[in-house]
Amino acid sequence: MNEKFRRIICSLEFHLALVALLNVDLGLWSLFIEAGDAKLNITLRNTLLFAIIVYTVLVFIWRKLLLSKFTWILYLAFSTFCLLSGLPYSSNLYFLWVYIDAFLVLLFFTTFSKQRKMEIIVLSSKILICTIFAIALLQKLITPSFMDGSFYYQAFSSGFFGFQFAPFAERFLFQEGLSLDVIKSNTEVMASMNPNLTLNSTILVPIYQSELLLNAAKFMSWSTIMIEGGCLLLFGFNKKKKNQYLNHLTLFAFLIGTYSIVPIIYDWGLTFATLGMATASRKWKPYYLLTMIYILISAMIFAPVTTALFRHYQGII
């Protein structure tokens, strides 16, 4: 690979440029798509988004702006606005981006050299990957309905949260006799609820019954624990340089596995890939870029399908 290209993607400016782009992406999702019913209305939210897009273009023209503390104060203000304007319903990712921007503000208030700053970013990204996986693992381990396979089983066989899983279910599980009628059945149950039910009334949901699906669900639960646990242990404790490839291969497996199934939350995937890339050597950084491109392409192809299916299932109710 071209040496000049490698030098560019290993630079502090390149990492900061990715972070700036992800701030815009986050804003796009939070302020435009979620907030405005995908309409270009002139609101405070959309105006702020437009302003931050213009500023990001300027940052790309005058790259020295990436090294300015003002830039990161601006991005922190923007991500904080995204977070606060959605409370109490803001997604977990918005919290994470406030932490990342706050970290960069703090970093650019120091007088460390560029190389020192990059080293701190590398260490911070490693710790952050470990912390995210530690919390995510803890959440799963203390949720009995995840550990016994209920979550995956009912996700695949029902329509409660089918907008994420329906395409997966349709692609792979119809062969096992799972029909669209079964996926619909939960929404039909909800449609049958009547206004005069009393408190603590219960409605049993018809769920497709399959031993094979149950085994697949249990396998997926434990696979998730293994791969997230693997990322946590490797990024936390694998200090040998010659074994660093294990960190990256495990994170790639997580990224490709997870965001192929749930492309709609591609921005999480891009965030993980950016953190992983920061920790990678010159040899591995290009593979992170390729993974990011894969996640984006997957999102562009499958996220609209997923959204359409979600609306389809909603429409049935």
Range 11-40, binding another protein (CB under 8 A): 33-38
Choosing from 41, 47, 68, 92, the residue that interacts with another protein (CB under 8 A) is 92
Which residues in 245-264 contact another protein (CB under 8 A)?
262
Based on its alpha-carbon atoms, the radius of gyration of the chain, rounded to whole angstroms, reads: 22
- Comparing CB distances to another protein, the nearer of 197 and 300 is 197
Among residue numbers 211 through 230, which ones bind another protein (CB under 8 A)?
214, 217-218
Compute the distance between CA of residue 273 and CA of residue 290 in angstroms, rounded to an integer: 10
**Smallest distance from the beta carbon of 164 to another protein, in angstroms?**
8
Give residues 70-89 in contact with another protein (rule: CB under 8 A). Answer: 85-86, 88-89
- Amino acid letter, 271: T
**Min CB(79)–another protein separation in Å:** 12
Q: How far is the CB of 50 from another protein (least distance, A)?
A: 18
Q: Which parts of 156-175 interact with another protein (CB under 8 A)?
A: 158, 160-161
- Return the residue of 114, 116, 282, 283 that touches another protein, per CB under 8 A: 116
CA dist 30 → 94, 151, 190, 195, 262 (Å): 8, 27, 29, 34, 18
Q: Which of residues 186-215 bind another protein (CB under 8 A)?
A: 188-205, 207, 209, 214
By rule CB under 8 A, what count of residues binds another protein? 84
Q: Which residue, chain included where needed, has tokens 């050597």?
A: 281
Q: Which tokens is 175 given? A: 């062969």
CA distances from 293 to 16, 38, 178 (A): 18, 24, 32
Asked whether position 103 contacts another protein by CB under 8 A, the answer is yes
How far is residue 29's CA from residue 99's CA, in Å, rounded to a whole number?
18
Indicate the DSSP class of residue 113: -
CA dist 283 and 289 (Å) reads: 12
Taking residues 269 to 298 in sequence order and writing x for each that binds another protein by CB under 8 A, - otherwise, the string is ------------------------------
Q: Is 146 in the site for another protein (CB under 8 A)?
A: yes
**Cα–Cα distance for residue pair 59/14, rounded to 1 Å:** 12
